[in-house]
Structure 1
Amino acid sequence: MSFKKLSCIIEELKICAEQGMPILIEGKKDENALKKLGINGTFIKVSGSGLKLFEIAEKSVKLSSKVIILTDFDKKGEQLAKRLAGDIQSLGSYPNLEIRRKIMGITRKFIKDIESLPRHMEQLELEEKPDGVSDNFDHQRFCVRY
């Protein structure tokens, strides 16, 4: 069941990215992980950009009035998420922390960062389908109920 729930959250993230919402992440490895999950969008890296957090917030709100914050699940990631959310909100835009919270809720005991997400998804899928046989999982029907 965790695989299906996490798949729905990833699907929600894909839709948001397709709608043009920028995704704030910590670094290149996070971007690669999300792309591996099929998420193609505007990624804005928080670490190593040379910009201050407020400048990153300004850059993101110029792209969309809604911004997804997807920092890691450790203490540093939590602090970044809170500061970015405050800055984005102060600029009159909506910081989406809900997707991050949903992913954390399912993966908290197993992973601490976004870059580990694809491998974790693979493990969950193997646990739910050890024989490799697909159960014809219907994202749309399941995810609407979830």
Structure 2
Amino acid sequence: MERVDEQEVKQIKDFIEMLNYESTNGAVVLVEGKRDSNALKALGFSGKITVLNSHRGLSRVVDNLEHASKVILLLDMDSKGRYLTQRLLCMIANRKSVDLFYKRRLMEITRGRIRSIEELMAYRYSIAMSNPLADLSA
């Protein structure tokens, strides 16, 4: 990935802060895999994450989200991610609030360069450098 400018780093930090705020109000972030989860945590996300691939089937994922006030879908921007997003929207939308704002916002911030959530790891060092207390070992 090309060099990240300061404005983009600030927007990613704000993005993570907004996710943390949502989480404190009962929202659950749904990602595809463990590396996606690790990337969000490395950037400072401290809320509840549900990993799609850790469940056996979409219906189990939906059952696991029963207590969430809102589901924030942060699935990858590839064909598999788009397919899963559509399937989950059909399964969840009639029972829960489903939020796609953050997925769109991430595309705006990175101008489409980030195609999977795990690619956010590229921002880890830049964010840590802007926060001297950050833990780079995550």
TM category, shorter: 0.7 to 0.9
Q: How does 1:95-106 map onto structure 2 within 5 Å? A: 95-106=98-109
Instruction: Give the gaps of 5 or more residues in structure 2.
Output: 1-6, 131-138
What secondary structure does 2:30 align onto?
A: strand
| Partner Cα distance (1:112, 1:120) in 2 | 14
Is 1:64 the counterpart of 2:68? The answer is yes
Shift of residue 31, structure 1, vs aligned partner = 1.0
Quote the residue 1:87 is aligned against. Answer: 91
Counterparts of 1:9 and 1:43, CA distance in 2: 15
Q: Give the aligned length.
A: 124
Q: Normalising to structure 1: TM-score of the pair?
A: 0.74
SS at match of 1:22: strand
Q: Secondary structure at the match of 2:80?
A: helix
Task: State the Cα RMSD in Å.
Answer: 2.1
Match of 1:35 in 2: 41
Whether the 8 Å contact between 2:77 and 2:115 is mirrored in structure 1 is: yes
Give the distance between the partners of 1:39 and 1:117, measured in 2 at CA: 12
Identity value in percent:
34
Show the counterpart of 2:112: 109
- 1:77 pairs with one of 53, 66, 81: 81
Query: Normalising by structure 2, what TM-score?
Result: 0.77
Deviates more, 1:37-46 or 1:100-109: 100-109
Superposed structure 1 runs of 4+ greater than 3 Å apart: 120-123
1:4 aligns with 2:10: yes
Task: Give structure 1 stretches of 5+ with no counterpart.
Answer: 126-131, 135-146
> Deviation per CA, 1:83-134, whole angstroms, max 9, x where unpaired?
11221112x21001101110022225322111110314646x6xxxxxx7x6
